[in-house]
Amino acid sequence: MSTKARPKGADLEYKSERLAAAPQLPNLPTYSGRSKLLLALRRPNPRGGSRVELQYLAQEDQNQVLDWYRQSLQMYHWSVADNKDEPVITATSGGYTATVRVARGKSRLYPTQFSIYYSYPKTKG
């Protein structure tokens, strides 16, 4: 059975780099509640624009976290869209996109888990 060689750089679209800490993301407020970072990944996608994924645990309940992000993003002049069927907010600002997804945590101390998906504008070229 013959296998075709994958084009050089084909997997760069899916490559990810684990970060030791959450990076500063342009114009995105940092959650001011009691939270703990679980995971920080950078995905330097050359075709679709690079992305950062952050996962946290929070001591506040799901609604508090979602409300905090909704209000804070609006204060930072992001255009915010709520998903009425799910605990998700998607916001855009100057070519950047941020999605905040909230879920039930697995402990009493941290009853909420939330993820932030942050996309940088696509580069031309």
Asked if residue 49 is part of any domain, the answer here is yes
Domain count, the chain: 1
Range of the domain at 50: 32-119
Tokens of 9: 């750089």
Note the pLDDT of residue 122: 75
Asked if residue 115 is part of any domain, the answer here is yes
Tokens of 32: 């001011």
Asked if residue 10 is part of any domain, the answer here is no
Note the pLDDT of residue 120: 87
DSSP lists the bridge partners of residue 98 as: 91, 118
Note the pLDDT of residue 10: 52
Asked if residue 27 is part of any domain, the answer here is no
Q: What is the DSSP string of 45-60?
A: -TTT--EEEEEEEESS
Asked if residue 4 is part of any domain, the answer here is no
Asked if residue 19 is part of any domain, the answer here is no
Asked if residue 8 is part of any domain, the answer here is no
For the entire predicted model, the pTM comes to 0.83
Which H or E run contains 17? strand 17-18
Note the pLDDT of residue 101: 96
Asked if residue 95 is part of any domain, the answer here is yes
Note the pLDDT of residue 104: 94
For the chain, residues with pLDDT lower than 70 are 1-14, 46-48, 123-125
Note the pLDDT of residue 5: 61
